[in-house]
Amino acid sequence: MPSRDSILQTVKVGPDAVNFDQIRVGDRVKLRAAEELSVGMAGPGATLQGAAGLVSLAPKGAKPGGIVAETTQVTARITAIDFGKRTATVRFDNGSTKTFPVRSDVDLSQRKVGEQVVFRLTEAVALSVEKP
């Protein structure tokens, strides 16, 4: 019987799956996902756009498993600051704008319209197979 935080789902696995032949009926496949967003101020003239990824699979013959991670980084320019509501509106390079809440430990009086902000999002997924 699965625990209350378990999710039962059937997935299709492609022919490139390494060590798939070691998985047996009744084995538990654990999938863990994590996401982290960090926001900081960019230096003058910084162009901080880009992405990087990592894929690491268990070697042939080992227990099935692996990890996939990706980090994406973009910059935006502050277009408005609302000191009363503690929000900042930014414009991204594609022209879209978004208003974000600003944490109480950030001194908004030190920020100004026109400054660049860096958004870095990292997402990771780890998979392992455990015998019952």
Residues 31-53 have pLDDT tens digits of 889 998 888 777 666 666 788 89
Q: Which residues, in sequence order, are CB contacts of 67 under 8 Å at separation 6+?
A: 54, 55, 56, 124, 125, 126, 127
At 48 the pLDDT is 62
At 4 the pLDDT is 57
Contact 121, 37 (CB under 8 A): yes
Instruction: Evaluate if pTM is beyond 0.95.
Output: no
At 42 the pLDDT is 72
At 46 the pLDDT is 62
Q: Which of 60, 95, 55, 56 is nearest to 79 (CA)?
A: 95
At 9 the pLDDT is 72
Average pLDDT for runs of 10 along the chain of length 132: 63 77 85 86 68 87 88 91 94 92 89 90 89 78
What does residue 20 show for φ and ψ, rounded to 5 degrees?
Answer: -60, -30
At 47 the pLDDT is 61
Q: Can you tell me the distance from the alpha carbon of 4 to that of 20, in angstroms, rounded to the nearest whole number?
A: 27
Q: Can you tell me the distance from the alpha carbon of 91 to that of 100, in angstroms, rounded to the nearest whole number?
A: 11
